[in-house]
Structure 1
Amino acid sequence: MKNCLLMFSLILCYLLASAQTPVPYGSNPAAGHYQLVRGVKLYYETYGQGPPLLLLHGNGGSIKKLENNIPFLAQHYRVIAVDSRAHGKSVDPGDSLSFEMMADDFAGLLTSLRIDSAYVLGWSDGGINALVLAMRHPEKVKRLVATGANLWPDSTALMPSLWRQQQRGYQENKSVKFTDPKRRNDWKVFCLDVFQPNIPLSALQGVRAPALIVAGDRDIIVPEHTIAIYRHLPHAWLWIIPNSGHATVREHADEFNRKADEFFQAKTVLPPVH
């Protein structure tokens, strides 16, 4: 009996010791770094080896929001997951914020890491950032995946219910003088999506990088808007995910990861069908 108990204890100790502790994505000292870029200390984490892949989260989020994607992608790429300016650990005390500023940040970060070009994957605002980065710094983007992105902030791009909610939120708080730094930053981030981006469809013609444009069939982005983005890109794939909302990268993480990898590895990307 004593031998059995001893054996059980040894097995239990082994199982406990071998159990993997969840990786604290977004707050991982083993993988985290700061880089001063354009006046802001950008926080980023790196995982895996291989071709560089820049990973971009959405509005009000951080690296942690992409915790379902990093482990798979890190098996194939050198993942560089970034907290955007004014998000997560990338503190930005300034009053202004734009997608152009963030795209320039990402280009500067890649340059500082001595990366000539990278694959880029962005969700929501991160998808917008991926497109803007490809427009402003085409040499930095090999291929891009953008899910849940929009080009302008009205009810023809966003679902009308979301657009009305944003407008109410703005009207109710526009006269408030925020003194708390966090609330002031949250307001700045909120206003980013109320007033931006403002990208004409014609501007997409200048994107030379192949693109995979993604949305859920129940996304907060109007389906026709997503299709228009796809059709105006010179080299693009379109993927509308069935039974999915805006959180494609989380709701369908396994399928999303495989599809993104398939796109990055594809030999050719044909022009869209008009």
Structure 2
Amino acid sequence: MKIIKNSLLIPLFCLISGFCYSQKSPFDTTLYGRNAAVGKYADIRGFKMYYEVYGKGEPMLIIHGNGGSINNFLYQIPYFAKNYQVILADSRAQGKSVDGQDSISYEMMSDDLNALLDHLNLKNVNVIGWSDGGIEGLLLAINHPDKVKKLAVTGANLWPDSTAVDPFIYTMVMKQNMIAADTMKKIKNPTAGMRNQVKLLHLLSFEPHIKLESLHKISCPTLVIGGDHDVIRVEHTVQIAQAIPKSYLWIIPNSGHSTPIYKKDQFNEIVGDFFTQPYRKIDKYARFN
């Protein structure tokens, strides 16, 4: 990613989805994420969190990734809103949720989501998290187990090094972080947007730090998803699934990181089935089934 002084960084969601390079990107034209009829702000832990709610039924929280926003789930919202009350929020310092603090962490954002659920008087919700949203979903289930009924995460990682992240991607992100930090030093008056993008890139480069043992605390049934050519190494995704007591593992063939976009039909069907079917323990003779 080439640094451009006026924009500083290519938005991270553009990089992972590829759609931002299209003049008629569906993410630019969708009403999701900018729907005045349903969009609201909640005072959450020192900032105003923007959120939208669609549909009726059991509550479902869907969490976007680094540099993303509500509209990243334009293929999931209409599908799940048929049977669920779907809650989506722009995470702190992303989308319409402006945050001027100089640092950010995954624990901070997962606590924000917990506070949003309190604001909405919701407990025991189904949760879908993509990428950074998957990390936040895991932390929500670890630290606020009363909030999560079932959890599906795709493209999540527990730590920020090349044992978890594809080495090429890891090196690229770390180099970009160094370039961005150096560029910021040379700009006399960086804009709030520039500072915000560097903050998010720093988060991506140096966090999270979740121990495998912490995943033992997750008591809800969990579907762990990854593409077979994801930016997160398949071995790491397997580690996550194996550390969660009630987990299923789904490695999607011929897929990268953007499973909710490029594998949207499969993703919606399998994740939807996971939420509707009771969890079953598959052991001993059941392994033949």
Instruction: Give the TM-score of the pair, scaled to structure 1.
Output: 0.89
Q: Of 58, 67, 71, which residue of structure 2 is paired with 1:60?
A: 67
Aligned to 1:138: 145
**Which residues of structure 1 form unaligned runs of 5+?**
1-21
For residues 55 and 171 of structure 1, what CA distance do their matches in structure 2 show? 31
Q: Of 31, 38, 41, which residue of structure 2 is paired with 1:34?
A: 41
For residues 186 and 156 of structure 1, what CA distance do their matches in structure 2 show? 25
Residues 222-268 of structure 1: CA distance to partner in whole angstroms, max 9, x if unpaired? 11000000000000010011111100000011111111111111112
User: Deviation at 1:272?
Assistant: 8.4
Q: Is the 8 A contact 1:235 1:271 kept in 2?
A: no
Amino acid at match of 1:144: L
- The runs of at least 4 consecutive aligned structure 1 residues that moved more than 3 Å come to none
Q: Is residue 178 of structure 2 the alignment partner of residue 171 of structure 1?
A: yes
Aligned to 2:87: 80
For residues 249 and 173 of structure 1, what CA distance do their matches in structure 2 show? 29
User: Deviation at 1:147?
Assistant: 0.1
For residues 255 and 207 of structure 2, what CA distance do their matches in structure 1 show? 24
For residues 109 and 270 of structure 1, what CA distance do their matches in structure 2 show? 32
Aligned to 2:236: 225
- For 1:1-274, list aligned pairs within 5 A: 23-175=30-182, 176-177=184-185, 179-270=190-281
Amino acid at match of 1:219: D
Percent pairwise identity: 46
Query: 3-state DSSP class of the match of 2:270?
Result: helix
Residues 40-74 of structure 1: CA distance to partner in whole angstroms, max 9, x if unpaired? 11111110000000010111110111101110010
Residues 2-34 of structure 1: CA distance to partner in whole angstroms, max 9, x if unpaired? xxxxxxxxxxxxxxxxxxxx7501111112111
Query: 3-state DSSP class of the match of 2:265?
Result: helix
CA RMSD of aligned residues (A): 1.4
For residues 101 and 85 of structure 2, what CA distance do their matches in structure 1 show? 31
Q: Which moved more, 1:163-172 or 1:38-47?
A: 163-172
Aligned to 2:25: none
When Rg is computed on C-alpha atoms for both structures, the one with the higher figure is 1
Amino acid at match of 2:196: N
